[in-house]
Structure 1
Amino acid sequence: MEKNMDTKEKLDLIESLIEEIQKMPYRNSSILDKVNRRAEMIIRNIYGEKSKYLKDLQTIDFYPNWAPSDESDKRKYWQSGVDEMMNLFNILKEELNLFISSKKTKIENEQSQTITNRVFIVHGKDNEMKLAVARTLDKLGLTAVILHEQPNQGRTIIEKFTDYSDVSFAVVLFSPDDEARPRGDDSAQLRPRARQNVVLELGYFLGKLSRQRVLALFKQTKDFETPSDYSGVIFVPFDDAGRWQFDLLKELKACNYNVDANNLL
């Protein structure tokens, strides 16, 4: 039996075993042995050798350790074993059904998310870097949202930022616009880093979109300082060869954007 079965196959195996348990003839040792061996095999293949379910199965008794003289006691003990085994595999069945249900819900939620063709560009002072990303998005058929290019309409910066951040993906550009060193350590060298508004807006989009929908590009500069508190965020080098464009394409594709690498060639 293959261990890499899908959930539906696992569920089918458990349901067929439940039918076998229900049909077991009273005190038929050979059939019981066959069902037990199949039950163990199913648990091992689905949950592994160390599964607690395997231990639960092995504690189920169909025959008493003592010798009852009354036939009703024998039947009661047998039925107790059948009920325990049925309960165990009904629990496994319910567990798999819950997994299928949660997976279906997750897929439906992902499919229901509206993907806009607008991609927000968070940037610092590096105009060349900003324009290169905007041109790349344009080649891919997407619209780059650059905040200072949008009309103010009497709004504050925060209001404007919030209004135009209604996107499905963000590219955050880390360019060496500032320099800093730890306070009180005058011997430390100044290290280039991005402006603090860029770091702030990275955090905003991580919270709004999730890290899967945010790509951080950084300008390759000696000793460039990237934020240390954003674990799980991939910082992709903005290299002169343009490999970053294909990293961006890959991340967009992973988020179900219909983009074509041929448009970058």
Structure 2
Amino acid sequence: MDYQKISIQITPFQEWLRDVLNAQLAEIGFDSFVETETGFDAFIPATSYSEESLNEVLEDFSGDFSFEIQSEFIADQNWNKEWEKNYFKPLMIGGECLIRAPFHTEYPEAKYEIVIEPNMAFGTGNHETTASIIALILQNDLTGKTILDMGCGTGILGILASMKGARQITAIDIDKWSYEGTRENAALNNITNINAKQGDAGLLGNEKFDLIFANIHKNVLLNDMEAYNAVLNAGGTLIMSGFYTEDIKDIRTKAESLGMKDAGFVEKNNWVAHSFIKKD
């Protein structure tokens, strides 16, 4: 898939505005964001990019801020080089989980070492949502558990779950890059118990899961939460991320309407990972 990279510099820079713009751009199709010192880089499938829509988002803030915008077309075959050059550095989370690419040569030792082949699929651990769920996984014993990873991206969460003792992982993503990337990364890490599928919540059938990760946009979570709840075992946990602190009320209201109990959340730079337990 070809992507359009949009680099935005904000003057005067405000971190809250960067977060707001990321959320609003996600609503018009941008699916990956990388923070820079005075702004951010945003990525969108080239066929979905609209300069007019981008300008409409920025116009609401143009009275108090100015924006320097650079646009770059990234061809399908160039994405690995882009990440290697600019973004993907070895990353340690929780002092236990190292995430690196095959091309990294210098990195610390860790209890869990995950090798990820970078591509446009979301999930190298650098984003707050992925890092927060990884931290939660590290805190729990997953021995013998069945796992569902919705919006699996690179497959990183399922790979770590397997390393933590999970019995079987089903990984689902609507994007072809993610489906293929999850299969490749599982093989790269010698993981054999991940079943990757391309699609959405419509693929969920009679299987039951002890733990579900759903790292997707807020609107998708609200739309598909009932389907997640239907395949979650009684006493099982649903961890949702991909939304902001201001969205907690909507997410919690929906979850509780389905009979799930609030099990708390973690927040990092206004991004949230929220846990709910299905009542017995």
Do both proteins adopt the same fold according to a TM-score greater than 0.5, normalized to the shorter chain? no
More helix by share: 1
* TM-score, structure 2 as length reference: 0.26
**Max Rg structure:** 1
